[in-house]
Structure 1
Amino acid sequence: MELTDSVARFSALANESRLAVFRFLIRCGHDGCAAGEISRQLGIGATTLSAQLSILTQANLITRRREGRSLIYLARMEAVSEMVLYLMEDCCEGRPEICEPILTAFSKETC
């Protein structure tokens, strides 16, 4: 992942509402979720949510598909993977034992 991409993605997540939306969409998995349901579940107004979804889309963190009259939003799981790998790329100065607790926690607490 290029530096400009990482800055855009992490900047997009540096907002409580956007981070909440992104984490919610990660929990929704490959089924995604309609904008109206995201709004109801997170208590975010439609106009605000639309702006937040636009920023997350521009940062290439989420995507959407149309189902009938609804737009279904999905987290780009490959973006999550790319971000984690970017952060871990130069981890631990060549001493993997330092990173072991992070990797263990990551594998136990996710998916």
Structure 2
Amino acid sequence: MEDSQAASCFAALAHPVRLRVFRALVVAGAGGLTPGALAQNLVLPAATLSFHLKELMHTGLVLAQRSGRHIHYRAALERMNALLAYLSENCCQGQSCLSPPSLFCNLLEPQHD
């Protein structure tokens, strides 16, 4: 991940509502959540949620997948892991101080059709 990409991700996550949305999607796992479920869980108006989802999708931290008439949003775990790797790339002067399983999310993302 390049510096500019990481900065965009951090800027998106720097807003409290977007951070709450992203964390809720990480908790939801690979199945993700519909906008209705997200809005209800986070007590957000639909228009506010839509704005913040758009910002998170712009950075690649959130993906949208249509399932029939519904859209499911989910955290882009590969992108999240790339951001974590960016942060820890030179940790401890290049020495391995954290084992990969404890550092990264290993949830499998659903396959795209």
Is 1:107 aligned with 2:94? no
* 2: CA distance, partners of 1:66 / 1:93: 44
Kindly provide the amino acid, as one letter, of the partner of residue 68 in structure 2: G
Unaligned stretches of 5+ residues in structure 1:
none
Structure 2 residue aligned with 1:92? 92
Structure 1 residue aligned with 2:62? 62
From the two aligned structures, give the one with the greater helix fraction.
1
- Aligned to 1:72, the other structure's residue is in SS state strand
Listed one character per residue, the Cα deviations across residues 58-100 of structure 1 (whole Å, up to 9, x for unaligned) are 011011011222111010000111011000001112444xx3x
* 2: CA distance, partners of 1:68 / 1:46: 20
Runs of 4+ that moved beyond 2 A: none
Aligned residue pairs total 104
TM-score, length of structure 1 as denominator length: 0.86
- Aligned to 1:28, the other structure's residue is in SS state helix
Q: Name the larger-Rg structure.
A: 1
